[in-house]
Amino acid sequence: MADLILRWAYQVGKTPLLPLLAAALGAAEVMTGLVVAVSTFTGIILKPVFGILSDRNGRRIWLLLALALFIILPFLYRFVETPEQLFALRLIHGLATAIFGPVSLSYVADIGNQDRASRLAIFGMARSTAALLAPLSAGYILTYYPIETVFTAIGFLSLIAAFPLLMLSESAADKPTTKTSLTSHFGAAIKLSVATPAIWLAGMLELIVYLVTYAVRAFLPLFILSHDGGTILQAGLFFSLQEAANIALRPIGGWFADRKSNGAAIQLGLLLLAVGVSLLTSLSGWLILISAILIGFGQAMILPASLAFLAGANKPGHLGAGMGFYGALRNVGKVSGPVIAGILLTNFDFTVVFTGFAVVVGGAAIIAAISQRGAVRRN
């Protein structure tokens, strides 16, 4: 509930509110892009740091610090007068998600080993629901209220998340039995994380998934409108249906991973994602919505399984660090997907680019299958 409330409020203040505020302050196109993207870059750099700190000091204190940032910072937007001030405020605001993301995932994963993928799948539904509801909510609210009032409402909405968060208690996993110096702890955590294959495997899977889905999110509307009869309504329904499929089917993905294996769920999800992306340029009209369902189903299979795989393979006492690096790689995918797609589309058409992304995802599925078979033989 806390994750749903905070991410819903945060996303309301991001799309489409943030670009509109930047434009109202006189920001140029490049500055507007930087304002929108800066919080993602904050996560790339700082998510591992806060994950490590939560391993050392416990999860709850960092969740409450993130809550304080989510509540306080929206009230400051009404005092912003220049694009540079907005950029600085967004940089600080990005700290909230950089803390909350890896620490909340670590808290949920720490609860126990049994049905871990199902638990993470249900928890992940909050983020997807927020992403589905926030743009529509923001558009509706902006119809009746000015931008400054909306940000104030975001602060009050975030305050509601204090009720579920304050009910959380520290778990045994949150309380390390031994303490080293902060420098030594950071050094050991970074060294261990870099040397743990599971972190890189799960993180690269996440990077690929978000690279492809964010590239599609950035350029599919242009692709749909480039065809006769293509409408903005089709583009909007595509992303709504994709996110709805991701939300509705995520518990099934978690259940499948727990009952079969994380590897099997990941492979099936990658194949669904590859087929969905490859069909984008083959299906016409409303049939393109079939791709939306396949992509959403693929995400629902991959994401809970990759998180459960990471949590199960991570070293005791360093789960927060692993989740931090994992989240940083996810943010790399979010940033790089639209950029890579934009570069490719300057030289190739949509069919070549989307097919290329599908091949990359299909290749990842093959590598995941080979890796799993190798692990089985070794055991």
d(CA 303, CA 262): 10
Q: For the residues 339-368, what does the mean pLDDT come to?
A: 89
Comparing C-alpha atoms, which of 231, 263, 237, 219 is closest to residue 353?
219
d(CA 211, CA 298): 14
| Domain made up of 2-168: CATH architecture | Up-down Bundle (1.20)
Domain positions in the chain: 2-168, 194-378
User: To 5 degrees, how large is the angle CA 201–CA 215–CA 274?
Assistant: 60
| Domain made up of 194-378: CATH architecture | Up-down Bundle (1.20)
Q: Is 28 exposed, middle or buried (0-12, 13-18, 19+ CB in 10 A)?
A: exposed
State which of 127-136, 165-174, 309-318, 347-356 shows the largest mean pLDDT: 347-356
- Integer angstrom CA distances of residue 245 from 128, 162, 237, 249, 297: 10, 29, 12, 6, 6
What does the pLDDT look like over 276-307, one tens digit per residue? 999 998 887 788 899 999 999 999 999 999 98
**pLDDT for residue 376:** 44
- Residue 121 — very low, low, confident or very high, per pLDDT cuts 50/70/90? very high
d(CA 349, CA 346): 8
For residues 371 and 375, the model is more confident at 371
| Mean pLDDT taken over the chain | 87
**pLDDT for residue 175:** 56
Residues 6+ apart with CB under 8 A from 127: 3, 4, 7
- Are 2-168 and 194-378 the same fold in CATH? yes
For residues 174 and 333, the model is more confident at 333
**pLDDT for residue 172:** 47
The percent helix, strand, coil of the chain (3-state, each to 5) is: 85, 0, 15
- For the entire predicted model, the pTM comes to 0.83
